[in-house]
Amino acid sequence: MRNAPTILHLDMDAFYASVEQASKPSLRGKAVVVGGLGPRGVVATASYEARVFGVHSAMPMAQARRLAPNAAYLVPRFGLYRSISEQVMALLHELSPLVEPLSLDEAFVDLEAGEVAWDAGSARSVGERLRADIRGATGLSGSVGLAASKMLAKIGSEQAKPDGLVLIEPGTERAMLGPMSVRTLPGVGPATGDHLRRAGIATVDEIAEAGEDELVRLLGRAHGQALYAMALARDERPVVAEREAKSVSVEDTYDVDIHDRLRVGMEVRRLADRCVRRLRAAGLSGRTIVIKVRRYDFSTLTRSETLRGPTDDPAVVREAAARLLDSVDTTGGVRLLGVGVSGLADYTQEDLFAQAAGEAAEILGEEEAAEPVAEQEAVSERRWPAGHDVRHAGYGHGWVQGSGLGRVTVRFETPWAVEPGRVRTFRVDDPELEPVDPLPLVQG
């Protein structure tokens, strides 16, 4: 590890929800939940006001509605999120050639490689200036962690939330980590945390005290050795600049092991659809479908199938993933599932399987790493997703508050308005109302 806190981790605060609040004056300071609004919808992001009620990402939308019935529930606008992310990433690239994006709203930066920081004082100045530049360009806040390693910089940004900066001085890492929960360390989810707790290990200090051999016995060699190194604040991973993608994949880790085979199959179908969203967003297709299954005992299995040609058809990927799942024994429970596509190309072929011809799903937007996206609205309502932008010939720019029973309710306001806008209801086929692109958050 280096001896100066020159690795920066930026994490935008409640990114999707914050974008929605910034673009809709009537929602500022209010509980906002972004995700899919269908019966099997999942929360992508919740504003800090919604988190007070216990709403969090990856929660079933039905549960979120029970916890926060008065929140605003909106369908994601990934095109807008992506454009704002590009603005933020451009600011990071001004600092250093070594920028490692983790998602639309999160990235590591090697400040030393950019020769903009060499000690704690210069690193803090860069971090504060970055936060101010992001607010000036987008109107949004981001939290920054600065440390001598990637692991600690990420922990720092989490401590800084929301809208703050935490710098961890080299040499203080062990003392800072010691009393923290084992869940602070990367890769320690609810299941691993419970497993360690049953062994009498609840804090990072207790991981270090247990020793590497005991952790290997409890968790297996790879996981045990990695966790012991992290408890000692050892992390030599470099910041790696963007590379050409060799595969596109998504995966989810579940708080409670899944035992129901039908549920496992449904999760694989959902992951396949998410993977295709990413493929399409990148303008890619692929020939090899891969599934990943981590079982209750932490054993991990992968299965793959290579098609006759590249595809980005969701039905084809779903069917291939389902066939692969049939060859995996999930008895005892599953804690992680993943679906990926490799053998990438920048073109596609027609459907490879005749049975898929009538099953291709219409996909709205893209979903981020870390955060599952919901089922989309019924076909009859797709034209007016809640939260999306519209324009009326007489009233101007607005956004959809809700639709159903042949009606659509719109609030007419722009991101730059001081006061909330007025609300009007129209027929869904009103010729004067049309979907439009979002307005910029900052008027310039």
Q: What is the tens place of the pLDDT at every residue in 64-85?
A: 999 999 999 999 998 899 899 9
At 242 the pLDDT is 64
**Cα dist. 250→103, 143, 296, 372 in Å?**
12, 25, 19, 9
15 vs 242, more confident: 15
Half-sphere exposure of 270 (CA within 13 A, CB side): 20
At 444 the pLDDT is 66
Contacts of 375 (CB under 8 A, 6+ apart): 36, 38, 39, 40, 41
16 sits in which H/E element: helix 15-23
Has residue 371 got a pLDDT over 70? Answer: no
- pLDDT per residue as tens digits for the range 186-236: 878 777 888 899 999 999 999 999 999 999 998 888 778 888 999 999 988
CA atoms of 398 and 433, how far apart (whole Å)? 10
Q: Where are the domains of the chain?
A: 1-171, 174-231, 247-356, 379-435
Provide the percentage of residues in the chain whose pLDDT is more than 70: 90
Q: Provide φ and ψ at 386, rounded to 5°.
A: -60, 125
Angle at CA 159, nearest 5°, toward 167 and 338? 115
Report which of 292, 296, 151, 150 is spatially closest to residue 220, judged by C-alpha positions: 296
370 vs 339, more confident: 339
| Domain covering 1-171, topology | Alpha-Beta Plaits (3.30.70)
255 sits in which H/E element: strand 247-258
Report which of 306, 313, 243 is spatially closest to residue 284, judged by C-alpha positions: 313
Q: Which residue has the tokens 């179908």?
A: 269
Q: Which residue has the tokens 């479908």?
A: 289
CB 141 within 8 A of CB 13: yes
Band (243; pLDDT cuts 50, 70, 90): low
Coil vs helix vs strand at 331:
coil
Angle at CA 383, nearest 5°, toward 356 and 16? 95
Structure tokens at 60: 């079933």
Give the number of other CB atoms < 10 A from CB of residue 396: 12
364 vs 183, more confident: 183
- pLDDT per residue as tens digits for the range 33-66: 998 887 767 888 999 999 999 999 888 899 999 9
Considering the four listed CATH numbers 1.10.150.20, 3.30.450.20, 1.10.1060.10, 1.10.3720.10, the one that applies to the domain covering 174-231 is 1.10.150.20
Structure tokens at 171: 């040499």
Contacts of 308 (CB under 8 A, 6+ apart): 287, 349, 352
Has residue 348 got a pLDDT over 70? Answer: no
Least confident interval from 50-54, 258-262, 379-383: 379-383
CA atoms of 372 and 56, how far apart (whole Å)? 12
Band (367; pLDDT cuts 50, 70, 90): very low
Torsion of CA 131, 135, 138, 142, to 10 degrees: 40
Report which of 405, 99, 348 is spatially closest to residue 238, judged by C-alpha positions: 99
CA atoms of 29 and 47, how far apart (whole Å)? 9
- Residue 106 annotated among the catalytic residues of the structure: yes
Has residue 337 got a pLDDT over 60? Answer: yes
Structure tokens at 268: 């694989």
Contacts of 188 (CB under 8 A, 6+ apart): 182, 196, 227
Q: Average pLDDT, stretch 120-129?
A: 96
Q: Average pLDDT, stretch 106-122?
A: 94
Active-site residue (options: 20, 49, 100, 106): 106
Q: Average pLDDT, stretch 395-421?
A: 94
Report which of 329, 272, 319 is spatially closest to residue 297, judged by C-alpha positions: 329
Strand order in the sheet with 422-427: 422-427, 407-412, 396-404, 389-392, 433-435
At 116 the pLDDT is 93
Q: What is the CATH number of domain 247-356?
A: 3.30.1490.100
Work out whether the CA dihedral 92, 98, 102, 104 comes out positive or negative.
positive
Has residue 435 got a pLDDT over 90? Answer: yes
CB 147 within 8 A of CB 153: yes
- pLDDT per residue as tens digits for the range 133-155: 999 999 999 999 999 999 999 99
